Structure 1
């Protein structure tokens, strides 16, 4: 049984009610005045005509009786006419009341149409398409002023986002030069013919490790800035399953060393076709596989699945492990976020892996979904718009 739900109190509903009530009040007042004036004009005088009265009493009595009968008939006629006028006025008022509500709703809808357009367009605009504008046309009224103000705000936001991305990209690029200089200085110091003290060699090795970590961090920042710059222009049709298989092959030595078991269906290798930037998508899948290998326990497992429903291509990577908190897992898509004990880790990770995955997926019109498995471990699902399998590739 369907339950009745109270309609939402929208601006259109409020304007419709306002128009209807105001019309009913004005119509009621107009009909009341018209009825008062009409009834007042139909009153008759009960006094007889001036002049000498008849001398015959019988004739006078008959005339008085006739006059009384005529006055009674006239009063009945006036009463019936008044009732008809009132009934007609009530019907007219009801009909016009319904018409006023319908017309009020139509007028309110037309008046609020620019606001609906503004709302729909604003909802479509995100950090990835701040170049879009409302561009509302029409007279220079309050609605157009509101739209122009929102356009100015979007322009300032676009400039701010662009400046931030340029700063990250430029800073990351400029920092590569001193890093390369420091690495070259270490190589020169260790390559001298004189014996290098053991403590100095150990310090040089530690510095090289830290320089490699900073270099990976800068590379991640550059990739994140590129992914957040917008939708890639150069797109190629490729398989997410093939990218995942290639990433697993690159890490085969690490997988064997940690005794990880990889579980995947035969369809994964050629599944989940999409279109996008080869470099960005390769890095995205490499980060997903790298996260599954690095943040796993020795003797653990990795499960891959690829699906394509004709609209969405999806790659799912699952790993086992301890039970995780879903709220902490959702924060992993933010830069420099790690789980629990990994927050203070200073190893190979930069804390940008899954944030790069989320940015690349968003730039291609897709999404990243992170779920803590009830049995323990993590489920990472990357969904992108599907593409047709290229000609010559077995289906």
Structure 2
């Protein structure tokens, strides 16, 4: 019974079919053996014929008894041979039942395997494909039609999301631009009031935060539901150098020490293939996360390189000791740790979630680890570009 509850469906079907065949064969052999077990019974001799002597009658009866004994012995031998033959046939039937059961189970499950293989091939890039199983209207075809209906609904949902990604930037940024223009007009008036200037400054800050948050939403949506049609060779080390140079002011303001050079000096070449815009955003978010959520006078260690056919980027920072469970939650949208992170004016809680989505869109791996000494270690592993798989090593 335990074997039927565990294992694959084919194994369970094989056991069920084999048990049925073997049980039927055992019942048939048992009936044959029972029906062949008739006994030869002796019959009481009748009256001796006229003129028969007593001696000849005794001799005849003795002869009959001898023949009956021989017949009974032959019958026992026949039953023994039949029993042995039945056991041998039962053993052969057991092997044949397993073989036939496996073949029948494979035949019955073949349409399901085809449906499973076709469903696995369907992704966000080819949701238009359908199983389109032909044949009579049975349980298998109903299952395939149900899967096709599900794929149709998923395709409609993905199309709607992609349309939103394409239109949201214009539709949502237009009001922000209008508000910025209104602020500029109010400030540009002759001798604006001090309160007007202060209010305009605060509103600009809030508008920048909304714009940054909107940009994060759009990048996250594109990474999760968009297609990467613009795959090109991208150097991760150069992206790191550009991101560090762009954030030199923030690094200097916090007196951070960057191991790897403020301009990426010493970083090993690491090329991957993907969307240059998304990968640039990935690196920028990692560097931003390391700068914004670092402590005053802290440090940042950045390394790039190739290892086992993968282009890797590692960013480490110091800081307070974190629990690994807390670090694992940082890849969720709007997930932050502690008041020092939630109080950040530039953080939106989307940084590492956007990184995770971009890594997943490129088929890579992301590891966010809490360092035992304090701080975080974030490692991104992407497939190396063609021609660089053979080199290795990370350089800080």
TM-score range for the pair, normalised by the shorter chain length: 0.7 to 0.9
Q: Could you tell which deviates more after superposition, 146-155 or 272-281?
A: 146-155
Matched with 1:349 is 347
Aligned residues: 385
1:182 matched to 2:179? The reply is yes
Specify the alignment match of 1:162 in structure 2.
159
Contact 1:313 1:385 in 2 (8 A): yes
Residues 377 and 138 of structure 1, relative CA distance in 2, 3 Å threshold:
farther
- Displacement of 1:237: 0.8
Deviation at 1:342, TM superposition (A): 4.7
Q: Is the 8 A contact 2:319 2:375 kept in 1?
A: yes
Q: Any idea what SS the aligned residue of 1:322 has? A: coil
Tell me if 1:248 matches 2:244. Answer: yes
Q: Which deviations, in whole Å up to 9, do the C-alpha atoms of 1:331-374 show, x marking residues without a partner?
A: 22222222221564351222222222122222212232212112
CA distance in 2, matches of 1:369, 1:136: 41
What residue in structure 1 maps to residue 92 of structure 2?
95
Q: Is it true that 1:213 corresponds to 2:209 in the alignment?
A: yes
What is the CA–CA distance in structure 1 between the aligned matches of 2:237 and 2:281, rounded to whole Å? 14
Please report how far the alpha carbon of residue 322 of structure 1 lies from its aligned counterpart in structure 2 after TM superposition. Answer: 0.8
Paired residue for 1:196?
192
Matches within 5 A, 1:356-375: 356-375=354-373
Aligned to 1:153: 150
Structure-1 residue corresponding to 2:276: 278
Query: Alignment partner of 1:228: what SS?
Result: helix
Question: What is the Cα deviation at residue 156 of structure 1?
Answer: 1.2
SS in 2 for 1:39: coil
Correspondences of 1:213-362 after superposition (within 5 Å): 213-264=209-260, 269-342=267-340, 344-345=342-343, 347-362=345-360
Match of 2:70 in 1: 73
1:310–1:386 CA contact under 8 A, matched in 2: no
Q: Deviations over 1:241-261 (max 9, x none)?
A: 221122112212222222211
Cα distance in 1 for residues equivalent to 2:258 and 2:131 = 49
Task: Tell me the distance in 1 between the aligned counterparts of 2:162 and 2:230.
Answer: 20
Give yes or no for contact 2:165–2:222 (8 Å, CA) kept in 1: no
Instruction: Provide the rounded CA distance (Å) in 2 between the counterparts of 1:177 and 1:8.
Output: 59
Answer whether contact 1:237 1:275 (CA < 8 A) is retained: yes
Aligned to 1:55: 52
Q: 1:273 to 1:21 in 2, by over 3 A?
A: same
Provide the aligned C-alpha RMSD in A: 2.9
Contact 1:328 1:339 in 2 (8 A): yes
1:389 and 1:95 map into 2 onto residues whose CA distance is 58
- Residue aligned with 1:374, SS: coil
Return the offset for 1:218: 1.8
Contact 1:168/1:221 (CA < 8 Å) preserved in 2?
A: no
Any gaps of 5 or more consecutive residues in structure 1? none
Task: Give me the TM-score of the superposition, normalised by structure 2.
Answer: 0.87
User: Deviations 1:282-307 (Å, cap 9, x if unpaired)?
Assistant: 11111111111111111111112224
Give TM-score scaled by structure 1 length. Answer: 0.87
Distance 2:282 2:113 in 1: 37
Q: 1:37 to 1:316 in 2, by over 3 A?
A: same
Task: Quote the offset at 1:327 in angstroms.
Answer: 2.5
CA distance in 1, matches of 2:368, 2:149: 35
Relative distance call for 1:6 and 1:154 in structure 2 (3 A) is closer
Change (3 A) 1:6 1:93: closer
CA–CA separation in structure 1 for the residues paired with 2:81 and 2:139: 48
How far off its partner does 1:217 sit?
1.7
Secondary structure in structure 2 of the residue aligned to 1:233:
coil
User: 1:237 aligns to what SS in structure 2?
Assistant: strand
Task: Tell me if the contact between 2:334 and 2:349 (Cα under 8 Å) persists in the aligned partners.
Answer: yes
The separation in 1 between residues aligned to 2:340 and 2:154, in whole angstroms, is: 34
CA distance in 2, matches of 1:135, 1:31: 47
